[in-house]
Structure 1
Amino acid sequence: MMEMIQSFLTKVKECNHVRSLLNKEDCLLVHFICGQQNIEVILKNGECTLLHDPSESFIKCEIYGDEETVEQLLSGERKLRFLMQNGRLQVMASFRTLLLLEALFYLTKIDTKSLNII
Structure 2
Amino acid sequence: MIDAIKTFLVKIKDQGHVLPLIHQADIQVNLHCDQQIIQLNIKNGGILFLQNLDGQQVKYEISGSPTAMKQLFEGTERLRVLEQQGQLKASTPLRTTLLLESIFFLTKAQNS
TM-score w.r.t. structure 2 length?
0.86
Q: Tell me, yes or no, if the aligned pair for 1:29 and 1:42 is still in contact at 8 Å.
A: yes
User: Percent identity at matched positions?
Assistant: 38
Q: What secondary structure sits across from 1:24 in the alignment?
A: coil
Give 2:24's aligned amino acid.
Answer: K
Cα gap change, 1:76 to 1:92, in 2 (>3 Å): same
Q: Counterpart in 2 of 1:91?
A: 90
Q: What secondary structure sits across from 2:75 in the alignment?
A: coil
What is the CA-CA distance between 1:24 and the residue it aligns to?
2.3
Deviation >2 Å, runs of 4+ = 58-61
Q: Tell me, yes or no, if the aligned pair for 2:41 and 2:47 is still in contact at 8 Å.
A: yes
Give 2:65's aligned amino acid.
Answer: D
Q: Counterpart in 1 of 2:43?
A: 44
Alpha-carbon separation, structure 2, partners of 1:59 and 1:107: 25
Give 2:61's aligned amino acid.
Answer: E
TM-score w.r.t. structure 1 length?
0.82
Q: Tell me, yes or no, if the aligned pair for 2:75 and 2:110 is still in contact at 8 Å.
A: no
Alpha-carbon separation, structure 1, partners of 2:111 and 2:61: 23
Alpha-carbon separation, structure 2, partners of 1:98 and 1:83: 12
Aligned-residue CA RMSD in angstroms? Answer: 2.0
**Once the two structures are superposed, what CA deviation does each residue of 1:47-97 show, in whole Å capped at 9, x if it has no partner?**
111238x7xxx9742110010111011111111100111111100101100
Q: What secondary structure sits across from 1:17 in the alignment?
A: coil
Would you say how many aligned residue pairs link Structure 1 and Structure 2?
108
Alpha-carbon separation, structure 1, partners of 2:111 and 2:24: 29
Alpha-carbon separation, structure 1, partners of 2:100 and 2:59: 12
Alpha-carbon separation, structure 2, partners of 1:102 and 1:92: 13
Q: Which runs of 5+ in 2 are unaligned?
A: none
Alpha-carbon separation, structure 2, partners of 1:82 and 1:2: 22
Alpha-carbon separation, structure 2, partners of 1:7 and 1:40: 16
What is the CA-CA distance between 1:112 and the residue it aligns to?
6.6
Q: What secondary structure sits across from 1:39 in the alignment?
A: strand
